[in-house]
Structures are given as C-alpha cells and as structure tokens.
Structure 1
Amino acid sequence: MEPVAMVMEKAWSFGLVLLWFSTLSCYLVNAADDKNGGFGASFIFGDSLVDAGNNNYLPTLSRANIPPNGIDFKASGGNPTGRYTNGRTIGDIVGEELGVPNYAVPYLAPNSTGKAILYGVNYASGGGGIMNATGRIFVNRLGLDIQIDFFNNTRKQFDKLLGSSKAKDYISKRSIFSITIGANDFLNNYLLPVLSIGARISETPDGFIDDMINHLSNQLTRLYKLDARKFVIGNVGPIGCIPYQKTINQLNENECVDLANKLAMQYNGRLKELLTELNGKLKGAIFVHANVYDLVMELITNYAKYASEACCGNGGQYAGIIPCGPTSSMCKDRDKHVFWDPYHPSEAANLIIARQLLHGSTKYISPVNLEQLRNL
C-alpha cells in the first residue's frame, strides 16, 4: 500500500490539474466574451460564395488564390486569400457586424487549431454542393457531407478546449451556423453538359430537387445532433443572371436564363417548406431562411448598368467565360459592379446583402434577422 502522504500528494496534484483545466476553460470563454460581446463562434458552411481559402489546400481546378482576387481585402493588404471576390464575403461581413474580432479560420488552414477556433471555423469550398457528385468537374472540392464530418472533428476540439459542458453551451446557445449552398448542384451538376446528361435523362427536375432537399434535411439534422441550434440557411440566387450564363447563352443585358432561374425558384420553395418543418420538429433549434434570390434580383434591377458584366474576367459579351486571373481585364469602378467575376458577387454587393440579412425585415430574412438571432 502507498503511504497516506503519497496518496494525499497525488490527490492534491490531481485536484490542481482539474482546477487548472477549469480555470483555463473559463479564461478562454471569458476572453472570447470580452472581444465579441458574448457572441460565440461563427461556423460557415457552403460553396465558393463563402469559401475563405479552404480550396488553397486542395489539388483542385477551383481556386481563387491568384490576383487580382482579394484586391480590396484590407486584412491581407490586397493579396489573394482564396476568397472568390475582390474583398470580403458575406460570411466575413456578417461575422464582423455580429462582433467577432477575427474572421472564421478555414478548416484546412494550418492555424485552425487551439483558441483560434473559438471565434469560428469556415468549412466552405469552391465547387461544393449538397449532393456528393456536385463539382466533380473540379477534381477536388468539399461537399456538405465532408464539411459536416470536419465540423465533427472541431466539435471534439471544443470539448478538449472548454470541457464538455461549457463547449455544449458555447456551441448551442451562443454560436451561429450559416449554410450557403445549392447553386453548384444546378450549375455544376444537373445543368452541366456531358457530365449530367445521364442524370437529366433518368431524373426529372422534381426528382433531383427532391434528392437535394432530402439530403439537406439529413445534413442539417446531423449538425443538430452535434449541438448546433442557431441556423441561417441561404436559398439559391438567380443563377440564370450571372455573367457566365448570360455570356454562353448570348443573352441581352436585360435577359436571364429562364430554366436555371426556374430550377432555383423551385428549389427555394421546397427549402422554405423544409426549414418550417425542421423548426417544428427539432426541439430548441431555430432555422432562419435567408432570401438571397430576391436580394440579388433587386441588386440586378437597381444596378442594371453594372449587373451584366463581370468586373474581372474575359471572353464574350459580358467577360463571363474565363475566371478572374492575372491576365483578366478589370473594371475601375469595382464598388458599383454587382458581379466581381463570371460567377460571384463583388464585395459591394456582398455588403448590401449582408446588411439586409443582419438588420432587414422578414421579406429578406425570417422569422428573425441575424442581429435578433444572435441575441436569442
């Protein structure tokens, strides 16, 4: 038997370790509170609209880590970061406005460890979609299933950082999960020539959208089981109006591709029904619907002179064929253009959209806006 003194010494040492761990977890939570007014983390899932650099770490054909992408991104001094725009994404702006002191770190970045994740993690990936086959033309990308697998790893890290009880509270009561996805499922899956011809022969638009909704329902439920409670889900924007679609279909300035927009609207109607259903079914969760489609359509209407042509791109009437890169032509009035490149909004457009989602009425964001969601 061990002497009583040794047993007492070990118990005292163990107690000190527990006290140290408890003090550290309180310190980490309080440090985060001091900097962001009590708001927890911003967890961002989606595609290139909100990718903050994950694709930089993948062998993929879909990348934005070349100039002049990021030319107006102040945090990098105008250097490209992997964001598919000239400045901040909607996710960046929302995080700033909600009081998060640091941008959500890309999950695949080397610095996505330790207390850096307390302010949020970005899992979004250019080319990613709801369906696992989406974006295979790019060789590599992170679909939503994989992004949620990665969040599962993050969830375990939070337990180690804060302890299971504090981690659960931090994630479920004080953090927001934003999902911006679905456009690639049409543009780089169902509507993509050659790769999708078999799917379109065998599956109607109704059937494909059914699959998308069922898959998304399972994905959101997975996040709920990992303690996510505050969700904001963006619908699909008017993908028939992006410069790429207008260019390849040789449309006039005031025209958009009808089929692409109809598919987006059909999906959006089903998405709204799904979120209403989940709000009634998953206890304690709130699913907020972000009406991105109408917000972007209003931008296109209000800035008609600047809405057809990509600010940075090459090829065709609207510079809509070749993605933005060092040899692209670039507009001077970047703060007026709706689209930065053939596919993605400019920072100016992202700012208008983000502020409506943060502070706007139920026409754009319902049942509550993001400022209200933070305070629930």
Structure 2
Amino acid sequence: MTQQVQQFAMVQGNITRLLGPEKSAEFIANLLFFISIGSNDIPDHHQYNRTTVSLPQLMAAMQSNFTVQLTNLYNLGAWKFGIIGVPLLGCRPVVWVENLTKSGSGMIYSLENAYYMTYTMLKDPSSFGIKNIEKACCGKGWLNAEKACFINYNLNLCLKRKEFLFWDMYHPIEYASRLAAFALFNKNSSFVTPINFSQLAQASPIKLVLL
C-alpha cells in the first residue's frame, strides 16, 4: 500500500502540472478511492508468520500503516474513501480443505461490512440463487481447492457458475461480486455505513486541498 500511495503521488503531480493546482485539486477530490486490505495479510500470517509475529502485533502494524497511508492520500487531495472490510476468511474453500486435512480528518467515507455480507450469503445462499457455498467452481482436488485454478492443471470446471459462491479456492464468483457491488450502491443496504457508495460518489467536497 505504501508503494501504491507513492505511485499515486507521482500521478497526482502529473495531473497538477497538466491542470494546475486548483483544477487538479477539484478533479482528485471527486474521485472515489476504494481500499481493501487484510484479506491476504491475515491468512498469510496464519500460514507463514505466526511463529515470529503475533496476531495482535500484526493487527497493530496494519492499523498503524493504514492510518498513515489514509492520511497521506488525504493530504494528496483524496476525499472520498470506499473502504472494504475483511470477509469471513475461514469459510473459503481452501480453508475447508486445510481444516479438514468517523476519523476527524475531514474526509468522507463508506465502510463496507464484508464480514456481515459474507455471513448473510453463507447463512441463506438460496435467497441469492446460490446452491454451493463450499466447493470452488474452478480448481482441482477435493472441493476443487487442493490446487489453484491454473491453466497448466487438468482443471475441473463447474457448469453453472451462478450457483457457486466461490470461483476458485480464494475468490468469490463474478455473480457474487456483482451482488456485493449492487448492495454497496443500494440506498437501503445494511452492509455499508454511514453512507452507501452511491451517496459517496454524489457527495460534494467540503474543502479542496491545494498542493
């Protein structure tokens, strides 16, 4: 994330040189910045680093770095943040297999409760038209989750993707992602707070950061 923010700083500098400080600040203040962290960091810690770094230390480091980088983005003119929460990581196909063998900065944000969203889909999948919540659509082995969905494997592919929650051993199917996106932009959604992503996109900047 540090590298990505540094890269954005370069882009922001180029935009400022092209448009000038005032128009550049107005342009950037109206962009949506979607941020998702944790979905890889936490599982990787569980698999590789739990003997050297404790989970509380990891979470503290992630929180500290996230705060720093959000502040850096805000100082570069970012104002609208769509923050994606961490889903139920323990219910991905790969884990089934493993188990069995307001901030005060002046910014505006929408926070998605990915955990609750995933829990809702797992609890009542049929209401979303999903029939299989354990097996991956693409992969190899038990639950299609012993080998990744790589073209060089003799893969097993499901015939009806919309009936599956997961595409591969890690990621949700495209249909599930579309349902999630619709929920995040829906004004009556219980999965996003304090405003939904549609309201976030339509919000007018309170102030512009001129660099």
- Give the corresponding residue for 1:186: 42
How far has the Cα of 1:183 moved from its partner?
A: 1.2
- Matched with 1:298 is 120
2:166 is paired with a residue of what secondary structure?
coil
Residue 362 of structure 1, CA deviation: 5.6
Match of 1:324 in 2: 149
2:193 is matched by which residue type in structure 1?
S
CA distance in 2, matches of 1:225, 1:373: 19
2: CA distance, partners of 1:210 / 1:368 = 27
Quickly say closer, same or farther: Cα 1:370–1:206, change in 2 above 3 A.
same
- Please, which runs of 5 or more residues in structure 2 have no aligned partner? 204-211
User: Corresponding residue for 2:183?
Assistant: 356
TM-score by length of 1: 0.50
Tell me the number of residue pairs that the alignment of Structure 1 and Structure 2 aligns.
Answer: 197
Structure 1 position 312 matched with structure 2 position 138: yes
Match in the other structure for 1:169 = 26
Q: Give how far 1:156 is off.
A: 1.3
Task: Look up the SS of the partner of 1:295 in the other structure.
Answer: helix
Q: 1:340 — aligned with what?
A: 167
Mark the structure with the bigger radius of gyration: 1
- How do residues 98-113 of structure 1 correspond to structure 2 at under 5 angstroms? none
DSSP 3-state at the match of 1:246 = helix
* Deviation at residue 325 of structure 1 after TM alignment: 2.0
Amino-acid identity (%): 28
Match of 2:209 in 1: none
| TM-score, L = length of structure 2 | 0.88
Q: Secondary structure at the match of 1:228?
A: coil
8 Å contact kept, 1:247–1:319: no
SS in 1 for 2:164: coil
> Offset at 1:294?
1.1
Q: Are residues 296 and 197 of structure 1, via their aligned partners in 2, closer, same or farther at CA, if it must alter by over 3 Å?
A: closer
Distance in 2 (alpha carbons) for counterparts of 1:197 and 1:338: 29
2:50, 2:198 → 1: CA distance? 43
Deviation at 1:287, TM superposition (A): 2.1
- The CA RMSD measured in Å over matched residues stands at 1.6
Is residue 2:11 matched to residue 1:146?
A: no
1-structure distance, mates of 2:196, 2:67: 22
The separation in 2 between residues aligned to 1:310 and 1:334, in whole angstroms, is 10
Distance of 2:89 and 2:15 partners within structure 1: 37
Is the 2:114–2:191 contact (alpha carbons within 8 Å) kept by the matching residues of 1?
A: yes
2:206 match: none
Question: Does 2:198 match 1:371?
Answer: yes
Equivalents in 1 of 2:117, 2:14: separation in Å? 36
What residue number does 1:249 align with? 99
Equivalent residues in 2 for 1:53-64 (5 A)? none
**Residue pair 2:109, 2:200 contacting (<8 A) in 1 also:** no
Is structure 2 residue 105 aligned with structure 1 residue 282? yes
* Aligned twin of 1:228: 78
Structure 2 match to 1:255 = none
Query: Is 1:216 equivalent to 2:69 in the alignment?
Result: no
Deviation at 1:248, TM superposition (A): 1.6
Match of 1:187, SS state, is helix
Alpha-carbon distance, 1:360 to partner = 4.2
Secondary structure in structure 2 of the residue aligned to 1:338 = strand
> How many angstroms apart in 2 are the aligned matches of 1:341 and 1:185?
18
Contact between 2:140 and 2:147, CA under 8 Å: does it hold in 1? Answer: yes
